[in-house]
Amino acid sequence: MIIKKADLLITAAKKEQYPDTEVPEIAFAGKSNVGKSSMINALVNRKKLARTSGQPGKTQTINFYNINDTLNLVDLPGYGYAKVSKNEREKWGVMIETYLYNRNQLKEVVLLVDIRHEPSVNDKQMYTWIKNCNFTGYVIATKADKLSRSQQMKNLSVIKKSLYISNDNLLYPFSSETKAGVENVWNLFENILGIEE
């Protein structure tokens, strides 16, 4: 996709704060620090559209990014960060659930996992939840630049097994650093939404 325009529309904590847009949405779920914000920046070829942080648990709202006025990319709060209070974690859970169950514009939820590690219990729960909400079950394995090609293949196979992914077309390696996978991910999103470039 040729990016002509990419804007942060709004950061929302409640349903009434969601943007009043009709364009289709693709949301990203994943644990804290898995690289959701970095991936959005890489996809739109901007360094600081989505705020990244070395500190896990930074995204505590649902962030809506409008691309070319044709779709919104939605960054959901990261889960599984131990230093956040139980109360905060529960609030995030409700926030994510409200969005997943009430947003008609939402066309797909994509799970991000770190390619270097086997998916955690939280990842598996999130993936099951995504599938139970009748989404396809696409997974993007981030930080691919941290591994050699052969190690990537090995780890992708572990991820597939761990999440019971039977279809190779559901799993995409990605690197925000080298931009490897950007084109494949955009092709995927265009196919999901039926966008013709």
Express each pLDDT in 106-147 by its tens digit: 999 999 999 999 999 999 999 999 999 899 999 999 999 999
- Cα 135 to the center of its chain, rounded Å: 13
- Cβ-contact 141, 111 below 8 angstroms: no
3-state helix, strand, coil in the chain (%, to 5): 40, 20, 40
Percent of the chain with pLDDT over 90: 72
Instruction: Write down the pLDDT at residue 135.
Output: 95
8-state DSSP, 61: S
- Cβ-contact 139, 170 below 8 angstroms: yes
Classify domain 6-193 by CATH number: 3.40.50.300
Express each pLDDT in 9-40 by its tens digit: 999 988 999 999 999 999 999 998 899 999 99
Residue spans of the domains in the chain: they are 6-193
Entry pTM: 0.92
